[in-house]
Amino acid sequence: MAEAILRDLGGGEIEAFSAGTHPSPIKPLTIRVLDEIGLDIRRARSKGIPEFLGQPFDVVVTVCDDAREACPVFPGGGRTIHVPFDDPAMSPGDEEAQLPVYRRVRDEIAAWARMFVPEALEAARAGEEATAQ
């Protein structure tokens, strides 16, 4: 969810990637709740952390405690931010019982991203200006 929301709010100026400590197929409820806000991730795929090792990142964001514990330092990562969102896939019940949890987490991620994106863009622009001087 975070990758899709960050890419959308970044308007092409933010390159976001998502990787899991234990990648699994994207849950249908994730697709559904993002579709509800106009984000189509049907072509997205789950990726593991090893796929990104060695690549430079300005910011590495961990969104669950498992990820924070699994990679307290990410090689190639600049600043690290931890934002502990609930994992909606771990909520009890069937899909209809889980749906409100998926929506809540989506909305929490979006609220965080709306604050983070302007800050990240400003930092990137400041870095570009410093490099140009």
Residue-averaged pLDDT of the chain: 87
**81 DSSP 8-state letter:** E
Tell me the two tokens of residue 19. Answer: 């990787």
Q: Is residue 85 part of a domain?
A: no
Tell me if 30 is assigned to some domain: yes
pLDDT tens for 72-105 read 566 666 788 889 999 999 999 999 999 999 999 9
What are the residues whose beta carbons fall under 8 Å from the beta carbon of 66, sequence distance 6 or more?
21, 22
On whether residue 13 sits in a domain, the answer given is yes
> Does 67 have pLDDT greater than 60?
no
* Number of independent structural domains in the chain: 1
Residue (of 64, 67, 61) closest to 48 by Cα position = 67
Q: Does residue 81 belong to any structural domain of this protein?
A: no
pLDDT higher than 70, residue 129: no
Identify the pLDDT of residue 34. Answer: 98
CATH number at residue 20: 3.40.50.2300
Supply the range of the domain harboring residue 21: 2-55+96-122
Encode pLDDT of 13-42 as tens digits. Answer: 999 998 888 888 999 999 999 999 999 999
Half-sphere exposure of residue 78, counting CA atoms within 13 Å on the CB side?
8
Cα-trace Rg, the chain: 15
Residue-wise pLDDT tens digits, 35-53 = 999 999 999 999 988 888 8
